[in-house]
Structure 1
Amino acid sequence: MNNLTVTLVQQVIVPNDPQHNLDVFAQSMTAITKTDLIVLPEVFTTGFCAGARNYAEVEGGRAYQWMQQQAAKHDAVVTGSLVVKDGEQYFNRLVWMRPDGSYTEYDKRHLFRMAGEHTRYAMGKERVLVEINGWRVLPLICYDLRFPVWSRNRNDYDLALYVANWPSVRALHWNRLLQARAIENLSYILGVNRVGMDEAEQHYAGDSSVYGPAGELIATSQEAELITVELYAEKLTEYREKFPAYLDADEFILQHSI
């Protein structure tokens, strides 16, 4: 496992204007020199708005093609979530796009009922793991952060990432839970949020952050900008060897509700 360079892309998202948002993210990404993984926020083409389903992507559509182009251009994995229509259902779907154009998808498990997300989207049922440069990665979406069982490291990941539209009124929760997930899972954790205001005049402070396996804050920002950080494989291995709390973890079986 080699060191991993990650770039978090924190930007304003304009509701109901996918092409504008794609253009803004593409422009901001031109400043990237060399990285392995580029992480965009949740529903980065639309924002978490009431009419997002009107701009739903289809598999292989505009946003998928854009992600393929950006992954090839930067020779890096590009990931973030989209509103996707699949058959007659809509999903909040994370796409893990590789430079060769292949991809893996994860559908958001925990739908944010306080905003009615559970009435508009279908719930994901499968936990997904991906690999990059020898790193095992668990990709998750926003509200998933509140549920430690779903985020639990079963000795099968080195990095968990959360893409989000998490408003500043609950910024304390965002920051504390990201740190907690790092500490309890002995893993690197990164969270990518948005900034600015949404159509409901709800403010987003960003706080896109990277935490180390001991819970130490490595980087954070409240600005519309890129955050590039190197994650150290040797540091992760050494910490797990010195503090192997995972050896005393409780065993459990996760029951999948439908």
Structure 2
Amino acid sequence: MKIALAQTDIMWEDKKANLDIAETFIKRAAEEKVKLILFPEMSLTGFTMNVEVHGEYYETSSKNMNNDKSHWNFNRTLDAIKQLSIKYSINIGIGYIEKELEESKGKNKYAVISALGEVISNYTKIHPFTFGTESKYYCGGDKISYFNIDDFKLSTFICYDLRFPEIFQIASREAELITVAANWPKARINHWVDLLKARAIENQCYIAGVNRVGHGYGIEYNGNSLIIDPLGNVIGNCLEGVEGLIIAELDVDLVHNLRKDFPLKKDRRESLYRELAGEIIESIH
């Protein structure tokens, strides 16, 4: 399966400009016969805490609105991406903000839209970035998302999730490709690169990490988007600090054969890990 990462310079809180930029990358990817193109976290706004202005939600999420559509804020971001996925016949991964009227906080989301314009995955970031005040404005999710494209089963995570290996171990029980969409700052970019490689090696799966470039709210980003194979080899990357489209061909048999020949997960002691985790929790309380 051929995938692409769109390493973009996100215009701060300018959805229209960023959507136009996204379409140019989608068009290029479609011309290269790419099956799936992935964009960074909060793809059309940047890493904003302005949830009230930029948060969107599905009409089905408003259960108490008595069908009064004058009060509904439809998810324009996903509607626009659905149109592009159909227009270019390509699967698209996009980051956006969801905010239901009855909730005080938003959700940092990552959706994948099929080439038919259907939402086939809609993940909520499990770990809001407390250090960057994200947890003040966004609540964390509690589910891992799985979906299929061709012969691959995929799972998606977002930025700070990368620092928590437990969820990757869970996801890789099913997924052959795990994606990470980020707004990861230049100041800690060495962590980004090293952790992506580690996640690929320890989970014996492909890892695709797509990061932004440019500046957003005073923070500098320099990309370093990577596609890494199950052995930890970088098979696709982009020049540091510039926009670009990274394309690589993935072979699901590489994952299956590696897991068969070197059955790493069989040596994991899940029951012991649960026991030790329980002891830690007991000691905290």
TM-score (norm 2): 0.84
> 1:61 offset after TM fit, Å?
2.2
Match of 1:143 among 160, 180, 192: 160
Matched residue type, 2:82: Q
How many corresponding residue pairs?
252
Corresponding position of 1:61: 75
Between 1 and 2, higher relative CO (CA 8 Å, sep ≥ 6) is seen in: 1
What is the rounded CA distance, in whole Å, between the counterparts of 2:41 and 2:177 in structure 1?
18
Corresponding position of 2:22: 25
What is the rounded CA distance, in whole Å, between the counterparts of 2:75 and 2:152 in structure 1?
29
Matched residue type, 2:75: G
What is the rounded CA distance, in whole Å, between the counterparts of 2:51 and 2:184 in structure 1?
16
> 1:30 offset after TM fit, Å?
2.0
SS in 2 for 1:151: helix
Q: Is the 8 A contact 1:13 1:195 kept in 2?
A: yes
Match of 2:250 among 220, 231, 238: 231
Matched residue type, 1:67: I
Match of 2:116 among 66, 78, 100: 100
Q: Is the 8 A contact 2:154 2:178 kept in 1?
A: yes
Q: Is the 8 A contact 1:40 1:80 kept in 2?
A: yes
SS in 2 for 1:30: helix
> 1:216 offset after TM fit, Å?
0.9
What is the rounded CA distance, in whole Å, between the counterparts of 2:129 and 2:5 in structure 1?
23
Corresponding position of 1:88: 102
Alpha-carbon spacing, 1:250–1:97, altered in 2? closer, same or farther (3 Å): same
Aligned-pair Cα RMSD in Å: 1.8
SS in 2 for 1:152: helix
Query: Going by fraction, where is helix more abundant, 1 or 2?
Result: 2
Q: 1:27-60, CA deviations, whole angstroms, 9 ceiling, x for partnerless residues?
A: 2322121111110100011100233541222225
TM-score (norm 1): 0.92
Corresponding position of 2:210: 192
- Between the aligned residues of both structures, percent identity stands at 31
Q: Is the 8 A contact 1:53 1:83 kept in 2?
A: no
Unmatched segments (≥5 aa) in structure 2: 59-73
Corresponding position of 2:64: none
Corresponding position of 1:36: 35
Match of 1:212 among 225, 229, 235: 229
Match of 2:84 among 62, 67, 70: 70
> 1:68 offset after TM fit, Å?
0.3
> 1:134 offset after TM fit, Å?
2.2
Alpha-carbon spacing, 1:122–1:80, altered in 2? closer, same or farther (3 Å): same
SS in 1 for 2:258: helix
Corresponding position of 1:130: 147
